[in-house]
């Protein structure tokens, strides 16, 4: 079975993709390669960051790999926090402070439209591919819900009455930006596997 490296230290993400690719690939994370260094993320777009991470791993290990980058893009804030979503309120990457900053900036704004975008960069045999998953919704006026992470408690997807943080993991994964991007990735890999 071919090895496919997911440039992440999040074992839950690795398990999610392994489940989708079943017996076609052995999906492993960075920890499985005994790699604990920080991978650079110096680009000013989600696509740039995802590619930078994938290229770093491909160059270091010579293995087919993929990396993702995700951001919340708010219409009224000209796409902020975007690529800076994780460190919007500072380098300590505090979800609570990030949410506080977003809500403070949007205090008097009626247009609450926003979207989560996930970009996956895949490198197989030296060739690069990009996959995108998007979910549109609204920014709530205050956090609600105990599940999820990041901005989930202030994001309500279009067509739903609850925030991402009120959804079960199973419910959220059916509509989430990451699951849409991962589905495109796995569909592509399954198609490649047939050839």
The pLDDT of residue 122:
97
Residues belonging to the active site: 69
Indicate the average pLDDT of the chain: 92
For the chain, what is the total number of helices (H) and then of strands (E)?
Answer: 5, 6
Q: What is the DSSP letter of 150?
A: T
194 pLDDT exceeds 80?
A: no
Distances (CA, A) of 157 to 61, 83, 99, 141, 177: 38, 20, 17, 14, 10
Q: If you search the block for the tokens 């000013």, which residue do you land on?
A: 44
Closest by Cα among 4, 10, 21, 56 to 184: 21
**Separation of alpha carbons 53 and 55, rounded Å:** 6
Cα(29)–Cα(172) distance, integer angstroms: 23
Task: Give 36-47 pLDDT, tens digit per residue.
Answer: 888 888 999 999
* pLDDT of res. 147: 85
Region 48-67: mean pLDDT is 96
pLDDT at 73: 98
Does 17 have pLDDT greater than 90? no
CATH number of domain containing 122: 3.90.950.10
Number of domains within the chain: 1
Cα 5 to Cα 65, 167, 181, 189: the distances in Å are 4, 29, 16, 13
**What does the pLDDT read at residue 142?**
96
The answer to whether 163 and 152 have CB atoms below 8 angstroms apart is yes
Mean pLDDT, residues 89-95: 90
For residue 24, pLDDT over 90 is answered with: no
Q: What are the pLDDT digits (tens) for 167-189?
A: 988 888 889 998 899 999 989 98
Q: What is the pLDDT of residue 51?
A: 97
How far apart CA 151 and CA 191 sit, in angstroms, is: 34
Cα dihedral sign, 27-33-37-42: negative
CB 177 within 8 A of CB 117: yes
The pLDDT of residue 12 is: 77
Which pLDDT score is estimated for 14?
Answer: 87
Inter-residue contact 82 to 73 (CB < 8 Å) = yes
> Per the structure block, which two tokens stand in for 116?
């989560």
Residue 193 has pLDDT above 80, yes or no: no
Full domain range(s) for residue 26: 2-194
DSSP SS3 for 86: helix
Q: How confident is the model at residue 195 (pLDDT cuts 50, 70, 90)?
A: low
Task: Give the tens place of pLDDT for each residue, 96-149.
Answer: 999 999 999 999 999 999 999 999 999 998 999 999 999 999 999 999 998 878
């Amino acid at each position: 079975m071919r090895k496919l490296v997911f440039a992440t230290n999040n074992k839950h993400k690795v398990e999610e993709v392994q489940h989708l690719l079943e017996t076609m690939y052995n999906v492993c994370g960075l920890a499985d390669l005994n790699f604990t260094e920080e991978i650079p993320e110096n680009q000013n777009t989600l696509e740039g960051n995802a590619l930078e991470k994938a290229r770093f791993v491909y160059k270091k290990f010579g293995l087919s790999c993929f990396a993702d980058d995700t951001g919340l893009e708010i219409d009224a804030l000209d796409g902020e926090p975007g690529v800076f979503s994780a460190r919007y309120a500072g380098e300590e990457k505090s979800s609570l402070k990030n949410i506080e900053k977003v809500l403070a900036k949007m205090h008097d704004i009626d247009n609450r439209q926003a979207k989560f975008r996930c970009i996956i960069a895949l490198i197989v045999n030296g060739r690069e591919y990009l996959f995108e998953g998007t979910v549109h919704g609204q920014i709530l006026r205050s956090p609600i819900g105990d599940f999820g992470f990041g901005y989930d408690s202030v994001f309500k997807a279009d067509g739903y009455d609850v925030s991402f943080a009120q959804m079960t993991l199973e419910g959220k994964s059916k509509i989430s930006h990451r699951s849409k991007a991962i589905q495109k990735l796995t569909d592509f890999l399954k198609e490649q596997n047939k050839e």
